[in-house]
Structure 1
Amino acid sequence: METNKDDRRIQELLRKNLLAIPLINSVDIQPTAKDQQGAEDYRVMLGVSGEDIHLIVEVLGNGEPRYVRQSISKIHEWLQRMDHAYGLIVAPALFDKSAALCREAGISYLDFSGNCRLSFQNIYIERTGNSDLRPEKKLLKSLYYPKAERILRVLLANPGRSWKTEALAREAGVSIGMVFKVKQHLLKLEWVRDSRDGMQLIAWRELLEDWKRNYTYQKNHISQFYSLDNGIEQELAKVCSNRNLRYAMALFTGAARVAPYTRIKQLFAYVEKDVTLISSELDLKPVDSGANVTLLTPYDQGVFYGLQKIDGLMIASPVQLYLDLNSYKGRGEEAAQFLFDKILEPLWSAN
């Protein structure tokens, strides 16, 4: 690490962004000794309308929440020993949660792209959108690959449970290495906690909220048909059972058995495979419009995790129903919210 070069870069970043504030007349930056983690800290004196404002600045090499939380605690200790001083955290990029932690703690922040929240005395500046780089973007993207999603389904379907790596890998049907990778990402996001008992999901709302933004039921292969059979649900279940194929009532069809919100005269179901043979056996007519039967060939077998048997029919899990409904245009989002309020929220609140 080129310390002198990094030092100049930080000082230029501070000077540029602080002097851009009209009320600030001067900026005096004094580096302090490196801390044990190698981050350069600075004491900054601002000249503001004839008064001096002191800033305690800590520079982080990583903007993850756990490091920001540690920095906030350290800055608060320093501020207790000083009068008329304020804290400022600088990092290459800050997670959304990191920025929220700073706001809650009354600590200003600044990233290398110039995104900031600077609040001290009678000065308040907030800038966002200077870069489309979100440090959590890469982490989140890697969570929504099919096999990684299997782990998320297991965590969301078992409120309050702690998982050892091997047990979670078996339950999700993935490798131990995949569990370890996902676990590290979730720890960085502070969505899980790790203890001697194993990994436990603690930020289930944040996970589910983010997953639904990155999910669409159209990831599955969709086949549309028309049927004159009023008992098509039972017939589909019978055919799949005879062929030893997994199936699950999905979207509005599944939700009608779990948390009925609106009645839609259309069958939605996941079918493991052999849709052509099944449609032929059920005498389904392929159509481009006006379908009343939609069969989904799963993009991954994880959609079958946590199936429920209700009225003799296999129903997709509440988490799967929620994700699929939320991405369905029309009344899907309303039905998803109703299912969330009636099933998912009470399930997690009880644990």
Structure 2
Amino acid sequence: MTEYISPGCALIERFVATLEALPNVDVESVLWDSSLACLRQIVAEVRLRTTVEPVVVAITTKKTACPRDVRQLLSQFKELRSVYRADVQFLLAAESLSPGAKELLQAEHVGYYDSGGSLFLSAPGVYVLIDKPQPKPQEKTVRSLFSGRRANVLHALLIHPQDWFGVTDVSLRAQVAPSTASDVLGELERFDWLASRGKGPGKERHLREPGELLNAWAERLAGSTVPISRRYYVPGLKSDAQIQRLGRVFDEHQVVYAVSFEAAAQRYAPFLSSVSQVRAWLIPSPGADAAFAELDARFVTEGANLTVIETKTAGELLFREQVNGLWLASPVQVYLDLLRGEGRAKEMAEHLRRERIGF
């Protein structure tokens, strides 16, 4: 039977309840002794009896933890071993842990438990790995990075992955407020996606692993679809000459647009023998309506060869490139759009990433 010397935090109590449900593991005692305070953040000890030998788990707690937090904690644990018993098993209990934090802890054989029920414990006679979805507060924080104006900052970093940026540089390129840029850079630093140098106003960052950030963004989009605003049939749009004409007419009427999906990917990194449809992001305007009239574009529900995705913000049009007179969405935007496409779109996305994006 578990012995509680004094009341503890609910998170540790849930951790203990999880241990008690494990086969071949008995929780002998949970110590909430004030003398533990001298041991650098160790707030509780859980003593276990296993089929091999007794195990002492020393627990520290945090509200949230990302790779940067874990590296600091691992350094503290190494120091603690000189004043603690050598066979102790350290464990971090947190409301939420990032995937990178969990990977680091597993690699160092340090246990963890979070409020979502994820658990890792590696000790003589017991090995437990329970992986559950991130708790909602952490999930919401991560998800918010990939939407709205915050996503513009990610876009700016991925377009120039080797550049070092200050907050002002990023905010100007991403067309966001400096406070938004600063918040996003701070979050990315916590997730260990950024390297940094300097201090204060002169501090600069750049992406440590751009491929990991792009993978995370792609994962967030999994299963989602791009909203379709209008479908048109434009006579002769299959020919390259007519697609170029579309670009000229849009420019003449000062339409702000960016072709994406297969038609753009084909121009960045040819993959298909032909493309049957042009899909473009577009900011609605009277000029756009005039351009459609000049192109003899007819609104249809079936048989469309021009799909327009209307947007009120310039996020999807950031870093667009003009190629042979046609504005194309950035390779990063095209890649993300293709992942939400159908048919061979995902194959084309991987080809574009390999041949043009490069990470």
TM-score by length of 2: 0.85
Measure the CA separation in 1 of the matches of 2:147 and 2:120: 34
- Aligned mates of 2:330, 2:25 — CA distance in 1: 57
Between the aligned partners of 2:192 and 2:354, the Cα distance in structure 1 is 24
Please give the root-mean-square deviation of Cα atoms over the aligned residues, in Å. 2.6
Question: 1:200 aligned to 199, 206, 221, which one?
Answer: 206
Partner of 1:224: 231
CA distance in 2, matches of 1:249, 1:324: 11
Say if 1:234 and 1:85 are closer, same or farther in 2 by CA, change over 3 A: same
Matches of 1:296 and 1:11, distance apart in 2: 49
Deviation for aligned residue 1:299: 4.6
> Which residue of the partner structure matches residue 245 of structure 2?
235
Aligned-pair CA distance for 1:146:
2.4
* Distance in 2 (alpha carbons) for counterparts of 1:307 and 1:11: 50
Pick from 322, 334, 339: which aligns with 2:347? 334
Q: How far apart are 1:14 and its partner, in Å?
A: 4.5
**Contact 1:227/1:283 (8 A) holds in 2:** yes
Residues 157-176 of structure 1: pairs in structure 2 closer than 5 A: 157-176=159-178
Q: Tell me, what secondary structure is at the counterpart of 2:271?
A: coil
Closer/same/farther in 2, CA of residues 294 and 112 from structure 1, 3 Å limit? closer
Change (3 A) 1:49 1:255: closer
Aligned partner (choices 269, 277, 286) of residue 266 of structure 1: 277
For the residues of structure 2 that align with 1:192 and 1:266, how far apart are their CA atoms? Answer: 38
Q: Which runs of 4+ in 1 moved over 4 A?
A: none
Q: Distance in 2 between matches of 1:10 and 1:136?
A: 16
Alignment check: 8 A CA contact 1:255 1:339 kept = yes
Moved more, 109-118 or 161-170: 109-118
Q: Which amino acid aligns with 1:222?
A: S
Q: Distance in 1 between matches of 2:157 and 2:149?
A: 13
Tell me the secondary structure at the aligned position of residue 162 of structure 1. Answer: coil
The change in CA–CA distance for 1:168 and 1:117 in structure 2 (over 3 A counts) is same
User: Equivalent of 2:299, from 267, 283, 286?
Assistant: 286
The 8 Å contact of residues 50 and 125 in structure 2, kept in 1 or not, is answered as no
Q: What is the Cα deviation at residue 93 of structure 1? A: 2.3
1:87-130, Cα deviation, whole Å (9 max, x unpaired)? 2221222222211111111111122443211221131122233x
The percent identity for this pair of structures is: 23
For residue 273 of structure 1, what is the amino acid of its counterpart? P
Residue 10 to residue 319, structure 1, CA distance change in 2 (3 Å): closer
Cα distance in 2 for residues equivalent to 1:256 and 1:83: 60
Q: Which residue of 2 aligns with 1:255?
A: 265
With 45-54 and 67-76 compared, the bigger mean Cα shift is at 45-54
Moved more, 276-285 or 203-212: 203-212
Alignment of 1:69-218 (within 5 A): 69-79=71-81, 82-129=85-132, 133-196=135-198, 197-215=203-221, 218=226
Q: Distance in 1 between matches of 2:356 and 2:113?
A: 41
Residues 19 and 286 (structure 1), Cα distance of their counterparts in 2 relative to 1, 3 Å cut: same
Residues 1:9 and 1:19: Cα distance change in structure 2 (over 3 Å): same
- Note if contact 2:27-2:46 (Cα within 8 Å) is conserved in structure 1: no
1:304 is displaced (CA, Å) by 2.1
Q: C-alpha displacement at 1:135, in angstroms?
A: 4.6
Say how many residue pairs are matched.
340
Distance 1:101 1:144 in 2: 24
Cα pair distance change 1:15/1:243, threshold 3 Å? closer
Contact 1:94–1:135 (CA under 8 A) maintained in structure 2:
no
Cα 1:165/1:286, change in 2 over 3 Å: same
For residue 21 of structure 1, what is the amino acid of its counterpart? L
2:278 maps to amino acid = L
Whether the 8 Å CA contact 1:266–1:291 is kept in 2: the answer is yes
Alignment-mate amino acid for residue 213 of structure 1:
E
Contact residue 331 and residue 356 of structure 2 kept, 8 A: yes
Q: Helix, strand or coil for the counterpart of 2:172?
A: helix
Report the TM-score, using the length of structure 1 for normalisation. 0.87
- CA drift of 1:287 comes to 1.0
Do 2:28 and 2:48's aligned partners in 1 also have CA atoms closer than 8 Å?
yes
Kept in 2, the 8 Å contact 1:250–1:269? The answer is: yes
